Amino acid sequence: MPALPVITGKLAFGALRIMGRSGNALPGLIVERVFPRYFAKALSRLPHGVIVVSGTNGKTTTTKMIATMLAKKHRVVTNDTGSNFVRGAIGALVQQSSWGGRLDGDVAVFELDEAHAVKFVEKYAPQHVLLLNVSRDQLDRFGEIDYTASLLAKVAKAATASVTLNSDDERLAALAGELQVPVHWFALSEPMQQLFPTDEELYDEVETQPVREGADAVLQQYDAASGHTVIDFAGDVRQLTLRTTGAHNAQNATAAAVATMRVGLSVDEVCAGLEEVEPAFGRGQSYRIAGRDVTMHLVKNPAGFRQSLQAGLAESPDRACIIINDADADGRDMSWLWDVQFDALREAGIPVTTGGVRAADMAVRLKYSGVDVGSAVSELESVVDAAVQATPAGGRLTVFASYTAMWGLYRHLDAQHEGAL
Please identify every residue annotated as catalytic: 333
Query: How far is residue 398's CA from residue 316's CA, in Å, rounded to a whole number?
Result: 9
Q: Residue 359, Cα to own-chain centre: how many angstroms?
A: 24
- CB neighbours of residue 317 within 10 Å: 21
Tell me whether residue 122 is exposed, middle or buried, using C-beta atoms within 10 angstroms of its C-beta: 0 to 12, 13 to 18, 19 or more. exposed
Q: Interior CA angle at 267 toward 262 and 268, to 5°?
A: 135
Angstrom CA distances, 254 to 216, 251, 257, stand at 9, 5, 5
Query: How far is residue 109's CA from residue 87's CA, in Å, rounded to a whole number?
Result: 14
Cross-strand partners of 166:
186
Tell whether the torsion through CA atoms of 150, 154, 159 and 160 is positive or negative.
positive
Angstrom CA distances, 307 to 25, 195, 344, stand at 28, 8, 11
- Find all residues with CB under 8 Å of 165, minimum gap 6, and list them: 131, 156, 172, 173, 175, 176, 183, 184, 185, 186
Query: How far is residue 111's CA from residue 53's CA, in Å, rounded to a whole number?
Result: 5
- Find all residues with CB under 8 Å of 385, minimum gap 6, and list them: none
CA-nearest of 333, 305, 340, 328 to 407 is 328
Q: In the chain, what is the greatest distance between 2 CA atoms, to the nearest angstrom?
A: 63
Angstrom CA distances, 144 to 55, 200, 244, 302, 410, stand at 14, 13, 30, 13, 31
Q: Interior CA angle at 273 toward 70 and 48, to 5°?
A: 10
